Amino acid sequence: MGEHSGGSGSGAGDDGRSPRIGRRLLVERLSSYWLRGAGYFAVGLFAAIVVALLYQSLPLLAEYPLSEVLLSSNWDPAQNQFGFFPAIVGTVYVTILSMAMGAPIAVLAAVYIAEYAEGRTRTLVSSFIDVLAAIPSVIFGLVALVVVVPFVGNYLAPAVGADATGLGILTVSLVMAIVVTPFMISLSVESLEALPDELRESSLGVGATEWETIRSVLLRAAGPGIFSAVLLGFGRVFGATIVPAMLIGGQTQLPDSVFSTGQTLPTLIVNDFGELMSLPLTQSALIFVGLLLVVVVWLFNFAAMLVRRRLQRRWQYQ
């Protein structure tokens, strides 16, 4: 290639072809720089996020040991008390509750779409799921304010003898289960569809019913894929911001029941944002929350990726 560009440099103008190939090679060279830059952009962005968040949360970590910050339940930025424990407990509560509600439904619906539905029904249902996945989360929050909040406050909480306004951990979990389900469905459908048809054929061929095929062959074969979908769902709920901020009630306390109000890590950032600009230590504390979120969500993602890799390796022969 160097030979070509050298030749075009000396022979420019001599005949009609050389300047053209020179220009083409110039475009090729310039575009390859640009594309290389774009290729490194993802890694660069990743690194920049880690460095920026880490650097800005250093003031907090210099002042307090990590264990104290994570395990103290005293959150009062005005008094320089930064205990993330209530928010961590709230986040874990919400994540586990919504996954407990969302994951089984997501897997069942994915089985329906991948194995039961056919033809037009299948296209229709899966495009509706796509639509559901694309609805902005702020709309889920808004609708939940008029549907789920009164339902929890007026019916569900009195039915179990709890006193609640309707805002709280259970409400957030319910809505987050709805938000994250379509996402898990489409990922699970993908991994079910990727299975070779011979699996279905041979299982049905030896006399298994459809459900037996699904349960003991397909779900087991696609297990890593579905598991990784659920892990990604975990990550989604863990980092969800808008829905919890609208529905959780925003009180930094250790939740004593599923109906009590609380705080999750992202809502901590949203609710205390007003104070952020003025106090450097609060600013650092809230950026540390961001760092914490990133680390946990990335752990979920990496775990999901490793699991998926295993699935891909297992079905490589197809």
Please give the residues from 252 up to 291 whose contact with other proteins meets the rule CB under 8 A. 266, 269-270, 273, 283, 286-287, 289-290
CA-atom Rg of the chain in angstroms = 26
Please count the residues of the chain. 318
CB of 57 to other proteins, least distance (A): 9
Whole-angstrom CA distances from 207 to 117, 195, 200, 204, 220 are 21, 20, 11, 5, 18
**Tokens 């397909």 found at:** 218
Near other proteins in 39-98, by CB under 8 A? 39, 41-43, 45-46, 48-49, 52-53, 55-56
Near other proteins in 89-128, by CB under 8 A? 104-105, 108-109, 111-113, 115-117, 125, 127-128
* 3, 10, 13, 34: which one binds other proteins (CB under 8 A): 34
Interface region with other proteins, contact rule CB under 8 A, candidates 61-69, 157-165, 207-215, 251-259: 207-215
**Tokens 């809502």 found at:** 267
Helix (H, G, I), strand (E, B) or coil at 58: helix
Q: What's the CA gap between 130 and 108, in Å, rounded?
A: 17
CB of 211 to other proteins, least distance (A): 4
CB of 254 to other proteins, least distance (A): 23
Of 78 and 134, CB closest to other proteins: 134
Helix (H, G, I), strand (E, B) or coil at 60: helix
Cβ neighbour number for residue 92 with a 10 Å cutoff: 13
CB of 27 to other proteins, least distance (A): 6
CB of 161 to other proteins, least distance (A): 27
* 217, 219, 279, 297: which one binds other proteins (CB under 8 A): 297
CB of 125 to other proteins, least distance (A): 6
CB of 40 to other proteins, least distance (A): 8
Of 155 and 211, CB closest to other proteins: 211
- Binding flag, residue 214, other proteins (CB under 8 A): yes
74 close to 150: Cβ distance less than 8 angstroms? no
Q: Interface mask (CB under 8 A) for other proteins, residues 215-244, using x and -?
A: x----------------x--xx-xxxxx--
Dihedral of CA atoms 250, 258, 140, 177 in degrees, nearest 10, equals 130
Residue type, 50: V
172 close to 94: Cβ distance less than 8 angstroms? yes
Residue among 237, 217, 235, 232 nearest 175 (CA): 237
Of 67 and 278, CB closest to other proteins: 278
257 close to 250: Cβ distance less than 8 angstroms? no
CB of 246 to other proteins, least distance (A): 6
In 18-158, DSSP assigns E strands to 75-76, 81-82
Near other proteins in 135-194, by CB under 8 A? 135-143, 145-147, 178, 181-182, 185
Of 181 and 252, CB closest to other proteins: 181
* 12, 61, 70, 132: which one binds other proteins (CB under 8 A): 132
Residue among 253, 274, 276, 273 nearest 84 (CA): 253
Of 50 and 162, CB closest to other proteins: 50
Q: What is the size of the binding site for other proteins (CB under 8 A)?
A: 91
Exposure on the CB side of residue 49, measured as CA atoms within 13 A? 12
Q: With 0-12 CB in 10 A as exposed, 13-18 as middle and 19+ as buried, what is 94?
A: buried
